[in-house]
Amino acid sequence: MRRRGARTMTAAAALARHELRLLASLLLWAGRRRHGVAGGRAFGYARGQGAMAFGLLFVCAVETVGVSVLLRDWPAAHHVLLVLDLYTLLVVLGLHAATVIHPHVLRGDTLRVRHGGHLDLRIPLDRITAVRREARWSHPPAEGALDVTVGGQTSIAVELAEPVTHVSLLGRRRPVGTVRFHADDADGLVAALRRA
């Protein structure tokens, strides 16, 4: 029983850290800054999901207004749901901001594959045996593979001679030998990796 409580506390702490990173991402995004790209070449991936993120933001805003109108005669419920709805808008905007300010980075002898504030996988270039442009849509994850999808797609596949350790948002570790991810300039990233 004590282990289950400790795991719950660890998961809650991980989620709280993730939400704080989302809020920090909003500040960096507002300042038009990116995180962790100094001295490297950045490759974005957020363009493919921007329209979907702003569409979801619009739907959430319409829902916020609708609920406010429906609950105007019940002030207590109205205030509680208004706070929750506004926080939801902030989180949705933060998720998009996190993908913009955390691009993939090719620096020195390392490729950093990132996704928002919750994935930062460092791959040493000397472990890469093959890199190819591979457009795939919503495929089931294979054993030993990590699929970092954007809008349900990946555009690059990297195969490794020796696995790297992927750490999930809640701290689970697993070795991965193939990493599939998306980049807006997939051809440019593949070419840069082959040159490196």
Which domain-ending residue is among 86, 101, 116?
Answer: 101
Helices (H), 42-185: 47-70, 75-101
Residue 7: per-residue pLDDT: 58
Q: Do 15 and 52 belong together in one domain?
A: yes
Residue 147: per-residue pLDDT: 92
Q: Do 50 and 90 belong together in one domain?
A: yes
Give, as one character, the DSSP assignment of residue 150.
Answer: B
The mean pLDDT value for 158-163 works out to 95
User: pLDDT tens digit string along 63-76?
Assistant: 999 999 999 999 99
Residue 8 banded pLDDT, cuts 50, 70, 90: low
Q: How far apart are CA 52 and CA 37, in angstroms?
A: 25
- The mean of the pLDDT values for the chain is 88
Q: Do 127 and 177 belong together in one domain?
A: yes
Q: Which residues form the domain of 80?
A: 2-101
Total domains in the fold of the chain: 2
Which domain-ending residue is among 49, 78, 101?
Answer: 101
Which domain-ending residue is among 69, 85, 101?
Answer: 101
Please check whether residue 109 is in contact with residue 77, taking contact to mean a CB–CB distance below 8 angstroms.
Answer: no
Return the structure tokens found at 27: 């500040």
The mean pLDDT value for 42-57 works out to 88
How far are the Cα atoms of 11, 145, 167, 168 from residue 175, in angstroms, in the given order?
21, 8, 9, 11
Q: Do 77 and 132 belong together in one domain?
A: no
Residue 15 banded pLDDT, cuts 50, 70, 90: confident
Q: Do 114 and 190 belong together in one domain?
A: yes
